[in-house]
Each structure stands twice: as structure tokens, then as C-alpha cells.
Amino acid sequence: MNVQRLHELIDDWRDGMLTEQAAAELSQLLRDSDEARRIFRAESQMHGLLHQAVTAAAVEETAGLAARPAHPAASGRPEKSLRLKARITSRKLQVAGTSALVLAALSAFLWLSLWRQPKPRHPKPAESFATLTRAAGCVWEGPTRPRAGDRLAVGVLNLRKGTAEVKLSSGVDLLIEAPASVELVDTNNCVLTAGRIVARVPPAATGYVVDTPKAKFVDLGTEFGVLVEPERETIAQVFDGIVVAELKNSDSTGKRSRRLVAGETVRIDASNGVELQMVAFSYEYFLRTFSTPSVYQGEELIPFKPSRMSSLDVVAAPGRVTIDGDLSDWDLSGVFEARCAEPFAESHSVDGSMMYDEQHLYVAAEVGDPMPMRNVIGPNTDPWSAWMGGSVQLRLSTDRSFGWPLTARKPYSREPRPQDLSGRIAHLTLWYFQPREQPCLEIRYGMNMDRGLVNPPGWQGAFRKAADGKSYTVECAIPWALLGAGSDPPQAGDELGLSWTVNWSDASGKLWKGQLVEIKNPPYADRGKKALTFLDAATWGKAVYK
């Protein structure tokens, strides 16, 4: 048996590159040889184990947990393990996983020393090395007040209002969201002292540094966002690839760096200056894509509208429900209708309905959308960003003991309360992944949203585009078990927290253009209250189960 050839064929099998001829060759090898089968079993098993191991590592790194029980039987119910992960403090972490932390620190050190060595920290800057490529509603302060198309050199940009996009000659894109103060140092460095910035770094510019008062964030060929709120907090999110956060002061475990992968968020609390926590990923911190002026009305981003409804009737399903995007078998008596403010009232709207039975929650929406069902953000690669490409989102509670208004909030520095982390609070994102023509669902749990599922077994969804191409219908059935209520689903008479968000994209299916948030608690009906539904469940309206 030619072992090398066998391994080549196994590689092709694993990577989906088997030709008919190679498949026949591999089949024959495996048929003829016990040893070949042993090798194949080991390699194929490794493929599955690696996926499981990497997924588990990613989930637990997100929660800041470096050690875990060795056997699944020791981990208890999922809700319990979630709570344990989310409540871990750095002190507990130190006690629970000292050896793992040493390994992680060593790994981070090696990582840094290996990849940073060849790259000079402050190469001599060019005369001008950047261009302000786009500017929307920009109001600048200070001596530098560029306009779109202007070349930029070393200097500080103070953006009081608006959104600006800067492209460096190295290929790095910076999206700056006001109010912000950014110093462009050179093609490898910038300093952010206040505001939000999203950096997209191509492979050739790997090593780009966003320096802040609390930490340096060093990219490894990726896309990431950094938020600096002076006197309050510094937050970094990784959307793709890997980033290393180098702390100016070590955290309470003595660590000076933290490696972040896609989907992870790190927060540095300004109150003590040195504590570093892993907090839940929250995709709505940053504007990742440039919004053209057409989505602004004055200074307000639109399509948008103040909420007018505080509740939605969730009616009992009348009988068999076929999930096919056709709502003729629905009881639509509980429907709500919402339209964006002018000039988008005709084109951007939603008619939303919900039904239930003992096993499922049913959700349906007819969404007015000039660019329907174009979302190209994949469920396997970047599900937490999928909302941007056009989506319907629901935030809801299935636990009647929480009552209404729901007091759960995203726990920042304070100790979380049980409802903050409850598996019976769910955030649903429904979208149509156009490249695979696939209805998709992401569920995140609790206000931390640090645990979630993508396209979980048991859910069903269907999307249907209208004949005129100006709207779509989404219909889905979600088992109560996936909403933490398998044994205790909502019943008639229950009034539980609920809020809807509809997101629209542009023609590319990935650039967010605006949103509508409806079913809100009246005191929070407009944006002036500075309360966001994904952060604070008190802003949610209610679902009234009929």
C-alpha cells in the first residue's frame, strides 16, 4: 500500500476535492487494506474532533474560561454551565485555571514575539499616506478639516459629527464614527483617544496597531473595532481574524496581553484601569460599513421610525402550519404594521405576526424591502454580523416569572442577576443566506448573548420573494425547547417581554442601511431615551399570549 498516496487522497476527501477517479481509487484502497481503513478512520475522526475541540475552545475563550470539566457528565445543564461561565471573575479564573493561564500567556508571548519581530514599530512615514475616501455628515474640529478625496499625512482628526472613511496606502481601511479623535501616525499605527474606529486590514498590512490609552490592539490580518470612551471603558471586538490586545497595565491575573479571535470582545474597565474582562460579543457596538448620506435625515440615520406599539398579540395557531412562506394557513388577527419615516414609508415596512402552540413559536413577517433576500453573510462564518445584510430580529422572554417590564440588562461591570443570564431570554436573527438560498436562524441567550446556536436542529424557516421584487415574506417555527421553554411554554394570559427589529441592506447584501425597531415599552419609544433593545430588556414591549 502506498501510504503517501493514501494520505493525499484523504486530504482530497477532507477538502471536497475528490474526483470520480480518485474516489474510486480511495474506495478500492480502503476495501483492500485493513491498514488503510485504520489510517482513514483515524484521519476522519480527527476531522470531526478538531471541529468539536476548536468550537469548544472558542466558546470558552469568549467566556474567559480557560479550564473546563473533563467529562460532559460533569458539566450539568447547559443553562447552568452558561451561568457559571458568565459569572467567572478574573480572581476565580486565577484560582481555577492557573496552569492553563500560564500556557495561554506563554502562547500569547510566543505569538507576539514571532510575528512582530520583522515589522518595524514606527517606520518612517511618507509625506502623505492616506486618503479620506468618503465622508458623511462630517463636522471636524481643530486644524485638520478634510473633505472627501483629500490626502492625509501625520496628524490628529477630530470628528465631532458624521462618519468618515480613511484608506491608508498600505491598504488598511479605517471607518471612524463620531465623536472621535484619531491620530494617524503612519501606515502601521494610529492612536485612538476617543470614539469608535473599525479597521479592515489586508494580509499585506498585518500588524496594524490601534493604540489607545488603556491598550494597544494589534491585528493579524483581520477586521476589528475599537471603542474608547474616556473615563469609562475601552472595548475591542474582532469581526474576522485575530487581534492581540496588549494591556498598558497588567490585569488582576498578571496578564499583559490577550489574544482575541473572531466573535470575541474584550472590555477594559476604566474604573480600576487594569482589569480586563471578556464580555459578551455585541455586534451593535460598531458601524462596520459606511452609510451613504441617503440614509441620513438631518443628523438622524434612516430608514427609521419611533415605536408606536407597545404590545403584540400572540395568537394560538389555528391548526396545522406549513412552513413554506405562504401565510394562508395563519391566523393573522394579531398582525402589527409599521412603516419607516418618509421618504421610506412606501418602500421600507413590516407586517409582523406571531402564533404559538404547545411545541412551537411561529413568527411571520412581510417585509417591504427594495433589495429583498440578498444577504450574503454566511451562517458558518460570521453569523453575528448577519443582521447587517437584511434581517428580522426578535428579542423575547419565555419566563413568566420575570414579568413585564423585564428588568434584565446587559451586565457590564456589575454582578449579573439571574435574569441577565437566563436561557429563557433569547435574541433571534432570521435571514436568507442568498449564496446557498438558505433560511437561517441565529439564537443568542441572555442579555450577555455569550451563548448561541446557529441553524439549530428542529427549527424550520422559509423565505419567499414577492413577484414585484419589492418585498419578502419570512415564516418560521421554533421549538420552545430552543427558547428555554420546552417543558414550560408560554400559555394564554402570559405577558412576556418582546421587541422586533427589521434591518435593511443595500444591493450588496452586506451593507446595513437602516432599521426599524417596534414593540417597545412606551417610555423608550424613541431614540432620545438613549436606550437600546439589545442592551436593556426594560425597553421591550410585550407579547400578549391569547
Partner 1 sequence: MMAYDSNNAPENHTLHIQQLFVRHQQAVLGYVLSIEPNFADAEDIVQEVFLAVSRKAQMWSAGTDFFAWVCAVARYETLHFQRTRARRTARLDEDVVELLHAAGTLDEFQRQHRVDVLRRCLRRLAPRAKELVWRRYHGAQMPEQIASGVGWSVNSVRVALTRARRVLRDCMERQFSAGGESL
> What part of residues 485-524 is at the interface with partner 1 (CB under 8 A)?
486-487
Helix (H) or strand (E) holding 195: strand 189-200
139 binds partner 1 (CB under 8 A): no
Q: How far is the CB of 58 from partner 1 (least distance, A)?
A: 5
By beta-carbon proximity to partner 1, the closer residue of 20 and 127 is: 20
4 binds partner 1 (CB under 8 A): no
Q: Which of 98, 249, 272, 381 contacts partner 1 by CB under 8 A?
A: 381
Binders of partner 1 among residues 231 to 250 (CB under 8 A) are 241-242
Site string for partner 1, 191-230 (x = CB under 8 A): ------------xx---------------xx---------
- 467 burial type by CB count under 10 A (0-12 exposed, 13-18 middle, 19+ buried): exposed
Using the contact rule CB under 8 A, the part of the chain among 30-38, 152-160, 276-284, 403-411 near partner 1 is 30-38
Q: Which of 107, 272, 333, 508 contacts partner 1 by CB under 8 A?
A: 107
Tell me the DSSP string of 56-81: HHHHHHHTT-----SSGGGS--HHHH
Residue with the three cell numbers 458558518 = 380
Q: Half-sphere exposure of residue 507, counting CA atoms within 13 Å on the CB side? A: 1
- Residue among 453, 451, 449 nearest 410 (CA): 449
Q: How far is the CB of 475 from partner 1 (least distance, A)?
A: 10
Question: Helix (H, G, I), strand (E, B), or coil: what is residue 394?
Answer: strand
By beta-carbon proximity to partner 1, the closer residue of 19 and 328 is: 19
- Residue among 289, 139, 115 nearest 205 (CA): 115
By beta-carbon proximity to partner 1, the closer residue of 48 and 298 is: 48
Binders of partner 1 among residues 278 to 317 (CB under 8 A) are 317
CA dist 262 and 223 (Å) reads: 9
Binders of partner 1 among residues 84 to 103 (CB under 8 A) are 100, 103
Using the contact rule CB under 8 A, the part of the chain among 18-26, 90-98, 227-235, 521-529 near partner 1 is 18-26
Q: How far is the CB of 293 from partner 1 (least distance, A)?
A: 32
**SS3 letters across 138-162:** EEEECCCCCCCCCEECCEEEEEEEE
Binders of partner 1 among residues 435 to 454 (CB under 8 A) are 436, 453
Using the contact rule CB under 8 A, the part of the chain among 13-21, 183-191, 276-284, 510-518 near partner 1 is 13-21
Q: How far is the CB of 206 from partner 1 (least distance, A)?
A: 9
Residue 529 DSSP code? G
Binders of partner 1 among residues 313 to 342 (CB under 8 A) are 317, 319-325
User: Hey, what amino acid is at 210?
Assistant: V
User: Hey, what amino acid is at 378?
Assistant: G
CA 80 from centroid of its chain's CA atoms: 23
Q: How far is the CB of 303 from partner 1 (least distance, A)?
A: 30
Q: Which of 456, 465, 466, 495 contacts partner 1 by CB under 8 A?
A: 456
Residue 154 has phi, psi (to 5 degrees) of: -55, 135
Binders of partner 1 among residues 337 to 376 (CB under 8 A) are 357-360
By beta-carbon proximity to partner 1, the closer residue of 325 and 403 is: 325
What are all long-range contacts of 378-382, with beta carbons under 8 Å and residues at least 24 apart?
A: 378/433, 378/435, 378/436, 379/433, 379/438, 379/440, 379/442, 379/454, 379/455, 380/454, 382/239, 382/240, 382/262
Total binding residues for partner 1 by CB under 8 A?
86
CA dist 149 and 130 (Å) reads: 10
C-alpha cell at 314: 400572540
Binders of partner 1 among residues 37 to 76 (CB under 8 A) are 37, 40-58, 68, 70-72
CA dist 16 and 270 (Å) reads: 49
Q: How far is the CB of 359 from partner 1 (least distance, A)?
A: 6
By beta-carbon proximity to partner 1, the closer residue of 7 and 121 is: 7
- Residue among 446, 437, 371, 362 nearest 402 (CA): 446
